[in-house]
Amino acid sequence: MTAKTIWLILRKDVLIELRTREVLTSMALFAVLIVVVFAFAFSLDETRAKLVGPGIIWVTILFAGTLGLYRLFDRERDHAAMSGLLLAPAGPLAVYIAKVLGLVIFITVTEIIVLPLMLAFIGVPLPLEGIPLFALALLLGVLGFSLVAVLFGGMLASTRLREVLIPIVVYPVVVPVIIGGVKLTGAAMGDGLPGEADNWLRLMAGFDIIYLALCPWVFTRVMVE
Amino acid sequence: MIEALELSRRFGRQWALRRFSGRFEAGTVSAVVGHNGAGKSTLVGLIAGLLRPTEGALSVLGHDCATGPRPPAVRSGLGVMLHQPYVYPDLSGAENLELVSALYGQPLTSKARHSALHRVGLDKAARRAARTYSRGMLQRLSLARLLVQTDARAWLLDEPATGLDSEGHQLVVELVSELRDSGRAVVMVSHQAALVEALADVSLTLERGRLAS
Amino acid sequence: MKAPQSSLRPVFMPLLLGAALMGVIYFVFAVTPREQQMGEVYKIFYFHVASAMSCLSLFFICAIASIGYLVLRNRKGWGRIATLSDQVAHGLAEIGVLYGAIVLTTGPIWAKPAWGTYWNWEPRLTLLLLTFFLFVGYLVLRAYGQRDEKVKNMASGIAVVGIPAALLTHFAIQLWKGGNHPQVVTGEGGGLADPAMRQGFAMAVGTVALLAIYLVWMRVKTHQMRDEVEMLFLDMSDLEEARR
């Protein structure tokens, strides 16, 4: 029942997205704009690009991801659709998992569109042998961010101050993931000490595992009165 | 089927609903009437499971539902039609109906879907995005759920005739009568006297959160 | 309802705590030796670290109380304890944020002579800053949502999620910085060499913690009083209805 409901909600979100292209367009456009602004703000050259490039990539993921999160739950606010989903037999757990998967997919697709552009704009060379590590970092980081973001996004979607409150509570929690992501991206670009990457991978995997266990527990208890 | 005993719910300094007791039996249409702010929506929220009672007991389909998460049997056995139609504007009417029906574990054959949409008068608009629908059409789409969610043994209807013309009213009367005749319990919240007159076997009046005697 | 309290009690604790605080301040400034490099500014360290320890403990206990609330609120017969843990969690968060503000203001005052900068992304300070933000969000939510059931749930959720994040952040920043920060209290940095310093530090920690407990208790009582007032309004409406 739960698995089927997850699939139904996810398919619905993807279907609506294919039809309107609202979320992906706004996320990708926003991400590109952030990169362009950063490129001017830091007057990037080759040495500086290597220094701040990983940071720019992760800030972009964070902001574009937040935008995607808002859009993903805006959809459930029209016509009180969230109540409809929560009342369905599978309950809040299915809603949570479906929305996490949805956000991971949306951020990943945005990254696939935007990353080549980003690397070109910032001018960071990503060597071919660094790509697997970079991809792994992206996967772990985006999952960690989505686990926390969907919990708070879903919880606070009905409050008046959501645009302010969601970043206030999401960003402090995902700091370890951002630091880890930046460090691993640096390592993928051939920066940092050898062996250091393993520690960061462990940290990010640990984060994901902890929140994979904790967030569904909290979500199911918070969303039902 | 649904039984409330001394059910109360507070919001801050006010009782939105106070000591509401009532039984809603199978094969009966019970109307809950009252002015705005009389506690009708609170009662709907409590029975639906969106709100938790402050005090009192509530049993739905034989399960204690006053506190704690509800078992799936209750969730699929209780059909809820909230005041706001549960509709995604970017999906078509047919897709919306399919989604709801699948969420409740009842895959919809295209024949059943067609006949349900035909019944509520949306067969021509079935393929259009729901955002192009008028309020009355959205309400008709919600009413189609009454036809496809056949597992529901009890129905909770919040203002089922919102935005409908006289033909739509007639449709509501027919659909709800059919639910009653098939032995389902129907709790209908409405302030439309004509609808209550036409349908209700039992009528309860709420005044400032309390049952009027 | 409760019997009226004796008029002595509300004065007793503030007097005691005031005296204890004065004692600690006297001890720290008059008895403990001057630190050689930093001079008098070093004295703020006693209160900075003591507040930080209290602050993080308050947030931590708040998370535990919030777990308690989320677990118990739907159990039959546990309603009273669930309400109490929610009130306690709210009070802990409020005083925790107050203490966090103290730590974050005294930090730079101490950091300037100690490290030469006003701010240093030192693991413990960073984790405190981030948890502080999280609990500011907690209080904003509480303030705007009044005492709605849903708001209680959401606030508890925020507190619960914050704790593993704090630990992971600490770990992450240690990894990031490579671990060359002063360990004054654990002794590696050698800050608390003098026994009088250690005594002063212990006194500061104890007093600041006692003050925190007292303040939390006061806040909890305030929240309980507010709930009681609301209950009285509800009772009143019942009476009015009965008279009709």
pLDDT tens for each residue of C199-222: 888 899 999 999 999 999 999 999
DSSP E strands: which ranges in chain B? Answer: 2-11, 14-24, 29-34, 55-60, 63-64, 78-81, 154-158, 185-189, 202-207, 210-211
Residue of A1, A17, A72, A79 for testing the chain B interface, max B β-carbons within 10 Å: A79
Chain A residue numbers with beta carbons less than 8 Å from the beta carbon of C135 are none
Contacts of A83 in chain B (CB under 8 A): 50, 82, 86
For residue C26, being part of any structural domain is answered with: no
pLDDT of residue A121: 82
pLDDT for residue C37: 67
pLDDT bucket at C180, cuts 50 / 70 / 90: very low
| Domain residue ranges in chain A | 2-224
| Number of structural domains chain C divides into | 1
pLDDT at C121 over 70: yes
Cβ proximity of C179 and C54 under 8 Å: no
Under 8 Å between Cβ of B76 and A4:
no
For residue C176, the model assigns a pLDDT of: 78
Q: Which of 60-79 (C) contact A at CB < 8 A?
A: 70-71
Flag whether pLDDT at C229 surpasses 80: yes
* Cross-chain residue pair B18–C241, CB shorter than 8 Å: yes
Asked if the structure places residue C229 within a domain, the reply is: yes
Across C164-176, average pLDDT: 86
Looking at the complex, report in whole angstroms how far the Cα of residue C213 sits from the nearest Cα belonging to chain B: 28
| A20 in contact with B, Cβ within 8 Å | yes
**DSSP code at position A130:** G
Q: What are phi and psi of A15, to 5 degrees?
A: -60, -45
SS3 C207: helix
Interatomic CA distance for residues B58 and B62, integer angstroms: 10
Q: Angle, nearest 10°, between helix axes A131-156 and C149-177?
A: 160
Residue C36's pLDDT band, with cuts at 50, 70 and 90, is low
Q: What is the mean pLDDT of residues B17-28?
A: 92
pLDDT for the residue B189? 92
ipTM: 0.90
CATH number where C155 lies: 1.20.120
Question: Are B82 and A80 inside 8 Å of each other by CB?
Answer: yes
Q: How confident is the model at residue C1 (pLDDT cuts 50, 70, 90)?
A: very low
Range of the domain at C105: 41-239
Ranges of residues in chain A whose predicted pLDDT is under 50: none
Tell me the chain C residues in contact with residue B208 when contact means C-beta distances shorter than 8 Å. 241
- Chain B residues with CB-CB distance to C151 below 8 A: none
Per cent of chain B over pLDDT 70 is 100
**Tens digits of residue pLDDT in B50-78:** 898 988 999 999 888 888 788 888 998 99
pLDDT tens sequence across C127-163: 899 999 999 999 999 988 766 788 999 999 999 998 8
Q: Which residue has the higher pLDDT, A77 or B168?
A: B168
Average pLDDT over residues C213-234: 93
Identity (one letter) of the amino acid at B171? L
**pLDDT at position C179 over 50:** no
Burial string for A120-157 (b: 16+ CB within 10 Å, else e) reads ebbebebeeebeebbebbbebbbbbbbbbbbbbbbbbb
Instruction: Assess contact for A180 and A204: CB atoms under 8 A.
Output: yes
Decide if C51 is inside a domain: yes
The percent of residues above 90 in pLDDT, for chain C, comes to 43
Asked whether residue C24 is assigned to any structural domain, the reply reads no
Answer yes or no: is pLDDT of C178 > 70: no
Q: What percent of chain C has pLDDT over 70?
A: 87
B199 Rama sector, left if φ>0, alpha if ψ -120 to 50, beta otherwise? alpha
Whether residue C124 is contained in a domain is answered as yes
Residue B153, Cβ neighbours under 10 Å: how many? 20
For chain B, report the end-to-end CA distance as a whole number of angstroms. 23
pLDDT for residue C191:
59
C130 touches chain A (CB under 8 A): yes
R_g of chain B, CA atoms, integer Å:
17
User: Is the confidence at residue B202, as pLDDT, over 60?
Assistant: yes
A210 → closest Cβ in C141, C162, C164: C164
CA distances from C77 to A156, B49, B189, C73 (A): 29, 20, 32, 9
Q: pTM for this one? A: 0.91
- Does residue C185 register a pLDDT over 80? no
Task: For chain A, say whether C178 makes contact (Cβ under 8 Å).
Answer: no
- Report, as an integer, the average pLDDT of B11-32: 91
| Residue B83, pLDDT score | 87
